[in-house]
Structure formats: C-alpha cells, structure tokens
Structure 1
Amino acid sequence: MTPCLRFVSAAILKVDGRGLNACFDVIHQLNVRTPADVRSMLEQGGAGLAGGTQLPGMVSRLVSELQVVNVERLLNSCGVSAEKVTAIGQRGPVCGREFWKQTGSATSIGDPAILAEATGLTVIDHFEQRDIAKGGNAHGLDVLPMWLLLTQAVDSISARPKVVVRLDHSIELFYLPARRKNRPIPAIAYHSLGPGFALLQALQSLCDNKPGTTSVRTADVDALLQRLEIEKVSADSPHQIKSLVEGIVEELPQLLASSVTLNQTMESYWADAIHQQVQQHFPSSPEFAEIIVLGRGARREKLVQQIAEKFPDVTVTTDVQRGWISGAVGASIAAIFATLHVDQVSGNLPDLTGSSAARVLGRITPGNPGNWRGVLAQMELAARQTVPLREAV
C-alpha cells in the first residue's frame, strides 16, 4: 500500500510463482481519501521536515492510522483472511524523498510498527533507503516492479515491449521489454520528463482567468521549458518548482491568462514531449505492443487522445480501462517490492539508479508470531534456491 497526497491506496495482489518468473494479478483495490488536515500537513511537510518545524512522528502516525483502516476495509470487502496474506508493502508519500536524497537517510512518512501491531501482518518498507545507501538516487526505482506487474513471463521470443507513461506529480516513461522465463533481466529503460501536475497546480494558482484570452503556441512552451531545463527539476523539491514557475511567469506570462488556456497548452506540450522522448530514448524495434497511460493524466480523455494521435500504429490504454482505481498501481508496486524482498531478489537496477550494486530492498517489521514464521519460511526457501549472479545480494 502507498499514500499519495490525495488518497491512501491499497491493493491485494495474487502471486503465482517466485522471483522474476512470478505472475502478479490485482484481485482487489481500495482507497481512502486523505482528510483535509492530514493532507495539509503532508503538503507542508517538505519544508517542515527539512527545517525541523514539523513533527515527523505525528504525520507518520496519522498516515499509518489511515493505512490500518484501509487494510481492514480491504480484507473485509473482499473476504480474504489475514492469515492468507504474506506481508504488507508500505510506502510513504513522495514529499519525504527529496530529503532522503540530500542526507542519505530516510524520513519515513508512515509508521510500520503501528501497521504491524494493528493487523498482525509483517510490514516491509523503506525500499528507497537501501539503494541510496549504495550511492544511488532512487530515480527509476519503480521500473522493475512495473515490469513485473505489466508483463507476463513467457517462453516465446516474439513477444513485444510495452511503454508506460506515468502522468502524475511528475511525468515518467518506462520501457518494458518482453519477459522470458528463466532468463536474466533484459534492458529495461526509464526516463523522467520532470514535474507534471506538480508544475500545473503551481501555475494554476497564478492564473488571471481573463475572458477572451488567446492560445499559446506549444512550440513556445517547449522552447522555454528546455531553456529552463525542466528535466532536471525534481517534482519533490518546492524550491526547484518555485524557480521554474518564476522563469515561466517572467518569460511567458500569457500562459497564465486563464486556467483553460493553461490546461490546453500543457496537455499539448506533454503529448509532444512524450512522443519526442520516447523516440529519442527508447528502442524503435521491435514495435511497441502497447502504450499504457497511468496516473491523473489517464483521467483526461483529451490528453490520452492526443497521445494516441502521436502513436497511430500503437494501441494506447489507461489504468481506467484496466479497471484500476486511482493509486492502485502505486500500491501494487509497493506490494511487489515486498514480494521481491521475501523472495530475496534485488529490486534496484544500478544502471538506472546509479547505485554501486544491486540490493534486496526494504526493512522488515515482524507481525504476529504465526505470520512472521510464515515469512521466515518463505525467505529460507528462497535463500536455498540458486539465483543468477546479477541478482545476488
């Protein structure tokens, strides 16, 4: 499970097989809307945590209590007994990650002890910290669980790759090649386009909403954002976002004439930028089997249509069409990270994150004795199995 600023989301995954050959299916999902006071603390938590003015423990407790409610509701609504759940993958909101990268230590938003005590289930969290401890930056860390979630292990060599576009707080592109059984991890690729809705929301707060405004050329926006080096801006950094907004206000103030103009222009810019970056950074052969749009952008029909027009020969789908609720993919990724830890498979790709070695990611908080014994038994079984050198810890 994983909280964002708007929801605390959870999903139950059915796992068939182990390690890189496993098949993951989302069998149930649920989210709880974050109360206004908790959301306000999370939105302001970045500056507070950095300056020591916000108490991290209080925020963690509030988030964990929401997670406990979510787990209980999820299990009750789908009729799954807690005894059948191996572990919970817990992941904090993105507002804490900027400081992990700066200090090399993790400030967790969400207390695993509260979740383990209330549910009796073993909790695995702090997935980014192990990569950062080995010199990585945790960029693109989601690419391996994303690959496992959206591809199936097959024997055929004719399977084609997929591209995932995650349009959310930031805009991220994932190249997911076909997954073959009992083979090493192929060349998975990741590329960040910089802030997405984090930038849009900051700009919307400055809009004049004047009637009769004219449109802004997408090419002008593209040229300006390239000069401002948007790809180097972290969506988790309020200071970098503020600097980017100031540059836009100074050089292209007409973009803020109305929220309608702003939304239409940014959607066109995003569609163009995604097309350009996919062509530039991802292999063109074999042809893509599918482009999957995730996040808040998947709920904007016009934006999805513009992306589809840029790739006329490729099927474009969304998480909405797959029946996934908002946040379900993020919650599933946390669950897959937990599964990889139990199976003792490294969850980071050093070529992408910059770490000096591949590592099994996560920290364990044991649940009740019966659940904890079951987790230990599965980990012992995984330790006796031979793994490829690239996946060794």
Structure 2
Amino acid sequence: MNSELFVGLMSGTSMDAVDAVLVRFADDRPQCLARRATPLPQDLRDALLALAHPGADEIDRAMQLDARLARTFATAVRAVLDDAGIAARKVRAIGSHGQTIRHAPQAAEPYTVQIANPALLAELTGITVVADFRRRDMAAGGQGAPLAPAFHAAFFRRADADVAVVNIGGIANLTVLPCDPADAVRGFDTGPGNGLLDAWTQRYLGVPVDRDGAWAAGGDVDRDLLACLLADPYFAQEPPKSTGREHFHLDWLDRHLARPGAPRAPRDVAATLVELSAQSIAAACLAQVPAAAEWLIGGGGVHNAHLMARLRAHAPVPLHPTTARGVDADDLEAIGFAWLARRTLLGLPGNLPEVTGARGPRVLGAIHPA
C-alpha cells in the first residue's frame, strides 16, 4: 500500500452535507486529489435531526434513513471520482464515518450509533467500505470518540513546540500534541461548536447557517446567560469525555432561557452562543496545552468570521487554519476517515487509549468488501 487511493466520507454533527475527499497516500502522507461537499436534502436533514432525539418508531425511521443516507453517500462518492476523473475500480477503499444519530458513552451499557448502510454503500459504488469505527473502541471501554487525534498526531505534531488542534464542527474537539515524544497525545470534545448557533439560526431566520456569524456579530452577549451555560457540568468534567446533540441541543438552551430575566432578543442569544463556543474552546486549550506555539483550526467553524474573531480574542498565540499546515480545513475530518480506513486494512490501530479511555490500541472498523 505504498501509493493507493482512498475516499473519505464525513457527515458531522451539523448534518448539512456529506464531505467526500479522494486521497492518495504516498509514504503515509495524504494528497487530496478532489473534494466535494454534497448537501443533504432538507427533508433528509430534518428527519435526521428528529431522529437525534428519542421518539416513536425509531427503529423503522433509523433503518429507512440508513438506506437513504447510503444512497446519498454513494452519490457523493461518484461525484468526487468524476471530479478527479478516477474510475471506482482504482480506489482501494472508502472510509465512511456515517452519520451519528445517538452517542451515549455514559449509558449503563455504553453505545454509539452511526448510520449510512455500509453494505449498501459498497454495493452501490463497487468499492470496499470500511465503517463503524467507533464501536470497537467503545467495546474496549473507551468513549468511541474523538478518533481524529491519532490522525492529527501523525500529521501536525512538532518536535520544537506543543500544538493545539481544534476541529470546529457541530461539536468542537481539541487535540493536544506535546512536542516531547514521551508525553501522550490527548484529546476530547470541548462542547458546542457550530451546532447550537445553527439550530438557533434555523429557528429564527429560517436558514441553516449564520453566514460568517454576521447575525450573531450584531447582537450583545448576555453575560448572565453565558455564565449559566458555562456552568454546565460537562465543561468541568475531566477527560476522557465526548458529547453531541444528545446533550447540547435547543431544549438544553431553552431550559436556560426559561429562567427569569433571560434575554428576549434572538440576536443576543446568537451572540451569546458564539461566545459560549469561543470561551469553552479557549478554556480547554489554555488548561490542556498552555505552552502551545499555535492553535490549528479545522472544520466548518473556520468560515464563521465572528467565531474566529472571538476565538482570537481569547488566544494568547496565533491561530492558523490547518490548511496552512498542509491539510485543508474543510477536508480535515473526511481525510481523517480515509486515513483510518487505510489503518484498518493494514491491521494497525486507529484509536489512542489516552484520548478515548480504551483499555488499549485497537484496529477499528468493519470491512465490507466490494
């Protein structure tokens, strides 16, 4: 496997699109040959968002969406291969994260669920699919997430300085990369990224994203509300930890807004949500990697100019998109799952026990042959 092609697929907590990348690995380094973001149809997105919370007929709805997502993923694969002019037979495998619809590492019997039927995806594309990466780590006593730190360590670790890597999707996560090789890589979910702001924007503006954070930028932060939100026990919990829409969702926010004296201007709430993301990310970075020479930022959050400005206001060191270090910020997670698929086929572990809390390194994922 000195030089082979892989497709990486990622549909994150924001549930807005399927990110597909075609990656060539040469000497274990990724070269992105093509990328394509395939938007999820609005009715499919709405159904997925509804499924992320308990409700009736969950099994039937989940299995129907499992197949629909696989077909959408297959469309994304065909599109990115067409963009690159590459035939499916030349691709070694697809690494598919799938769509998380429930993540419960603290349950009496911990579980995590990602859908986008990998068997159907293999059938539709004619390409081997590696999927279901999280459950093996969870079976070994881990959180099943985050899995990106192993990829971050392989490509962003420096010998001369500590580095913080922050991926800002619907949920934000931090990877701590110490320069000392004797120090373990660490990582965890810091809390909300774009997800709460997106949901609030959808509720009040009827659009899925606050472009550039322009709406939130015109509001005033409610300091009392912010303090209440930051008092959530998750932020003080020690790693390993992971979270998702099961915890940070609009019902969670609404409970805080129901208190006496809560702000009534939706734009002020939007501004407060941006500050919540910025402060919780910054607090995690400052606590976990105080000597970092730089904070590298990936994910959709890099396009929220207001969020980035607020994050810079709290950062004592320069912020750079991961693009500046050779991995496009928009492709970071999708490339990571192409890399994990390659690790699976090589029989190499893809988790970091220091990050997830698993009992040891594990080869992750299930293989669905073409």
TM-score normalised by length of structure 1: 0.76
Query: Greater CA deviation, 82-91 or 307-316?
Result: 307-316
CA distance in 1, matches of 2:272, 2:71: 40
In structure 1, the residue matched to 2:354 is 351
Whether 2:243 is the aligned partner of 1:234: answer yes
Classify the secondary structure of the residue corresponding to 1:55. helix
The AA in structure 2 aligned to 1:12 is L
In structure 2, the residue matched to 1:298 is 302
Query: Greater CA deviation, 60-69 or 101-110?
Result: 101-110
Offset of residue 63 of structure 1: 0.6
Whether 2:272 is the aligned partner of 1:262: answer no
Q: 1:192 to 1:104 in 2, by over 3 A?
A: closer
Cα RMSD after superposing both structures: 3.2
In structure 2, the residue matched to 1:7 is 17
Cα contact 2:163–2:177 (8 A) shared by 1: yes
Offset of residue 40 of structure 1: 1.6
In structure 1, the residue matched to 2:137 is 131
CA distance in 1, matches of 2:337, 2:304: 25
CA distance in 2, matches of 1:98, 1:279: 27
Whether 2:184 is the aligned partner of 1:187: answer yes
Q: 1:123 to 1:268 in 2, by over 3 A?
A: same
Cα contact 1:64–1:112 (8 A) shared by 2: yes
In structure 2, the residue matched to 1:314 is 318
In structure 2, the residue matched to 1:275 is 282
In structure 1, the residue matched to 2:65 is 59
- Give runs of aligned pairs for residues 13-32 of structure 1, distance below 5 A: 13-17=23-27, 22-32=28-38
Offset of residue 178 of structure 1: 5.3
Q: 1:166 to 1:105 in 2, by over 3 A?
A: closer
Cα contact 1:134–1:357 (8 A) shared by 2: yes
**Structure holding more strand per residue:** 2
Offset of residue 278 of structure 1: 1.3
Offset of residue 169 of structure 1: 1.3
Cα contact 2:219–2:271 (8 A) shared by 1: no
Q: 1:7 to 1:214 in 2, by over 3 A?
A: closer
The AA in structure 2 aligned to 1:164 is V
Offset of residue 217 of structure 1: 4.7
The AA in structure 1 aligned to 2:167 is R
Q: 1:15 to 1:205 in 2, by over 3 A?
A: closer
Query: Greater CA deviation, 268-277 or 291-300?
Result: 268-277
CA distance in 2, matches of 1:310, 1:43: 32
CA distance in 1, matches of 2:220, 2:145: 35
Segments of 5+ residues of structure 1 without an aligned counterpart are 368-393
Cα contact 1:171–1:196 (8 A) shared by 2: yes
CA distance in 2, matches of 1:239, 1:312: 27
Q: 1:203 to 1:116 in 2, by over 3 A?
A: closer
Q: 1:269 to 1:3 in 2, by over 3 A?
A: closer
**Structure holding more helix per residue:** 1
Classify the secondary structure of the residue corresponding to 1:94. strand
- Give runs of aligned pairs for residues 314-353 of structure 1, distance below 5 A: 314-317=318-321, 324=328, 326=330, 328-353=331-356
Aligned residues: 343
Offset of residue 309 of structure 1: 3.6
* Superimposed CA distance per residue, residues 288-309 of structure 1 (whole angstroms, 9 cap, x where no aligned partner): 2x32222332111132123234
Classify the secondary structure of the residue corresponding to 2:102. helix
Classify the secondary structure of the residue corresponding to 2:19. strand
Offset of residue 337 of structure 1: 1.0
Q: 1:253 to 1:354 in 2, by over 3 A?
A: same
The AA in structure 1 aligned to 2:232 is L
In structure 2, the residue matched to 1:146 is 152
* Structure number, greater radius of gyration: 1
In structure 1, the residue matched to 2:4 is none
Match of 2:197 among 196, 200, 208: 200
CA distance in 1, matches of 2:176, 2:252: 30
Offset of residue 314 of structure 1: 2.1
Q: 1:339 to 1:178 in 2, by over 3 A?
A: farther
TM-score normalised by length of structure 2: 0.80
Classify the secondary structure of the residue corresponding to 1:278. helix
Cα contact 1:130–1:359 (8 A) shared by 2: yes
Whether 2:55 is the aligned partner of 1:77: answer no
Identical amino acids, percent of aligned pairs: 23
